[in-house]
Amino acid sequence: TCKTVLANEQVIDGACWRCDELVEPREMNGWFFRITAYAEELLANCDKLTGWPEKVLTMQRNWIGKSEGVELDFAVAGLDRTLTIFTTRPDTIHGVTFMSLAPEHPLVEELIQGTGQEALVRDFVQSTKLAKRRQKPDEEMGKAGVFTGRYCTNPFTGEQVPVYVANFVLMEYGTGAVMAVPAHDQRDFEFARKYDLPVRVVIQPEDRTLDPISMTEAFEAPGLLVNSGAFDGLTSTAAKAAITRHVEEKGFGHGRTTYRLRDWGISRQRYWGAPIPMIICEKCGARPVPAAELPVVLPTEIEMDSSGKSPLHTLEKFHKTTCPTCGGPARRETDTMDTFVESSWYFARYACPHYLDGPLERQAVDHWLPVDQYIGGVEHAILHLLYARFFTKVMRDLGYLTVDEPFVNLLTQGMVIKDGTKMSKSKGNVVDPNDLIG
């Protein structure tokens, strides 16, 4: 296996993009590039890439995942705490009958204290994490959950609803807490039927009347509001706007835009990668390597092992240094950058390969960029191709170039496969052209 940290984009169906081994979630410190600061521009500029395949653009739009909705607070009964939720369907707020938390939600442990549910919840959290690690990429996990012993208050109705930990709620999306509306969300509906929780219809279609007792699936389409107090009779579209205004006027929430995109974790426990130019001082904290000392060069005398840690971790002559701020003893960062960092801007360096006074020579890159025709695999749609777009915008904002996008036209040439699997050295199924050419 690769035995290293991966960015979200490098986890494909729960497995490593390179070796196909299942990925194990762990909490680790690391360095990130703030790609989320460019989420809106990355999304909006997809419309300008008329020379790109629509499939690639669709994959990038979906990965960025813009959602517009409302963030609001549910007060926890008996605790001075609130559960903050994000929803794209504020029109269904009156249909909430329970709350679902991700197993990793930071308040789970505090919520269960003194409820008598501590052991049950802890066992469920651990078993869910284990099941997710063992889950096959194409396997769907059955809906399951456990009551925390706590209730929270719907700020619209004043009703107290039970708080559950559920295996289908993701900490990576929204806030990790979901207001559950079984009548109008299929996942919530299946969960409610399994655990005998109420189903309350608050959106009616125009062509029929929904009966919560006889419903066999959730009604997720827009419609007309019912059982929603002052908002009865409004269309879903009108109700979303009206409820958002009400939330903001009352001060228990606000309209919010969220993105599925997460910041790019670049820390890798490998030797083969650009050193991360940071120095850690116990007194001063993290400090950048002074510009005069760049670039940080990898040592050549190293010993590789199978521990999963970078050999730089134990190489004192590399990591032992002094703090650029206070001059005291300090440790050089031993993680290296994700190798996708280098491939995110090489095309710009190709315009000025012999320039020695900086990363890019402005006159040369202004002449050659953007690239007229780029050829690459669709498997890099949300990896290299997204990262290259991000890097181009960062380099533009730093004054290294003027273009907004790296590649005018993109051709995804397809992939040669053998026995239904892509050819790869790691899989041992590479065909040597020399064996085929007489």
pLDDT of 274 > 70? The answer is: yes
89-116 average pLDDT score: 97
The confidence score (pLDDT) of residue 239 equals 97
100-124 average pLDDT score: 96
The confidence score (pLDDT) of residue 426 equals 65
Of the CA atoms within 13 Å of residue 267, those in its CB half-sphere come to 14
In this structure, what token pair is assigned to residue 134? 């063992």
pLDDT of 308 > 70? The answer is: no
The residues with which 278 forms a beta bridge, in sequence order, are 288
Q: Residues 15-74: pLDDT tens digits?
A: 787 787 877 777 778 999 999 999 999 999 999 999 999 999 999 999 999 999 999 999
Q: Which residues contact 203 (CB under 8 A, 6 or more apart)?
A: 91, 92, 95, 183, 184, 219, 221, 222, 223, 224, 225, 226, 236
pLDDT of 428 > 80? The answer is: no
Q: Residues 318-351: pLDDT tens digits?
A: 999 999 999 999 999 999 999 999 999 999 999 9
The confidence score (pLDDT) of residue 422 equals 73
Is the peptide bond prior to 370 cis by the omega test (within 30 degrees of 0)?
Answer: yes
The confidence score (pLDDT) of residue 399 equals 96
In this structure, what token pair is assigned to residue 91? 């029109």
The confidence score (pLDDT) of residue 436 equals 79
pLDDT band at 133 (very low <50, low <70, confident <90, very high): low
pTM of the full predicted structure? 0.81
173-177 average pLDDT score: 89
The confidence score (pLDDT) of residue 434 equals 81
Measure the CA–CA gap between 111 and 167, rounded to whole angstroms: 17
Average pLDDT of the chain, as a whole number: 92
pLDDT of 419 > 80? The answer is: no
First to last CA, the chain: 36
pLDDT of 205 > 80? The answer is: yes
**Top-tier CATH class for 67-136+143-259:** alpha beta
The confidence score (pLDDT) of residue 175 equals 92
- Going from N- to C-terminal start, the domains of the chain cover 31-65+338-413, 67-136+143-259, 271-337
The confidence score (pLDDT) of residue 155 equals 96
> Residue-wise over 245-259: b if at least 16 C-beta within 10 A, else e?
ebbeeeebbebbebb
The confidence score (pLDDT) of residue 373 equals 98
The confidence score (pLDDT) of residue 134 equals 61
pLDDT of 307 > 70? The answer is: no
pLDDT band at 184 (very low <50, low <70, confident <90, very high): very high
Lowest-confidence range among 17-26, 57-66, 308-317, 390-399? 17-26
The confidence score (pLDDT) of residue 1 equals 64
